[in-house]
Amino acid sequence: MTTRRKKSQPDKRPKSATQHDDIIERGHRINELLARAYPDARCSLNFSSPYELLVATILSAQCTDERVNQVTPAFFQRFPDAQALAAAELPEIEEYIRSTGFYRNKAKALKGMAEALVAHHGGKVPGTMEELVRLPGVGRKTANVVLGNCFNTPGITVDTHVSRVAQRLGLTKHDQPEKIEEDLMRCIPHKDWTHFSHRTILHGRHVCQARKPKCEICILSGECDYYRSHGKRQA
């Protein structure tokens, strides 16, 4: 008696559902590759408290972390807590942060943030996204940095490096940081969100650079849309 081979059943799920599953699988593979490549990645801003990291992250906008780390020791010596910063005059704050760029806007944000901490939180940095984003000068990117590194609350920090790498890999098609964050939250394991951010930032700085990505040495080339469409032709 012969037995008929069962025909494989076609995947009846909507195409969008199968694409979503593919992105999740790719995101997990990319996360594992980055974890092996950058096992010791951490926040590159120097800080010893949530207040210090909050200040440093606000200063890091349009500025290198290296420059911020040069400025913050003297800044924190003069303004060791939110109370001292809230009581300071803007011109003095500006002098301490002038070299970070956009120093007038940053000084206003820092003073406003400190005043809000004193008025509503007893001078302490709150530990929730909802409370942090209500502070002057604090958006989701800054809040995720503080939450992930000070409160053990995983979050994806979408800076220019994370945006560029995620777009090139094909993990997102969006340009807006909040949309990119949402896409990455869906395809990266929750427990790894903060670590993924640190590792992707390092990868963007040293390998997947803006002007000329180093595709020939990239550990992610096998998962990368950009490499498939650009890198192979350049190799």
175 is catalytic: no
Count of CB atoms situated within 10 Å of the CB of 112: 15
141 is catalytic: yes
Q: How far apart are the first and last CA of the chain?
A: 56
CA gap 138, 144 in Å, rounded: 10
Which residue, 37, 12, 26, 76, is CA-closest to 214? 37
User: Which tokens in the block code for residue 71?
Assistant: 């400025």
User: Which tokens in the block code for residue 1?
Assistant: 């008696």
Catalytic residue among 65, 81, 159, 225: 159
**Amino acid at position 50, single letter:** P
Catalytic residue among 111, 141, 183, 192: 141
Phi-psi bin for 180: left (phi > 0), alpha (psi -120 to 50), beta? alpha
Which residue, 26, 219, 61, is CA-closest to 141? 61
**Residues belonging to the active site:** 141, 159
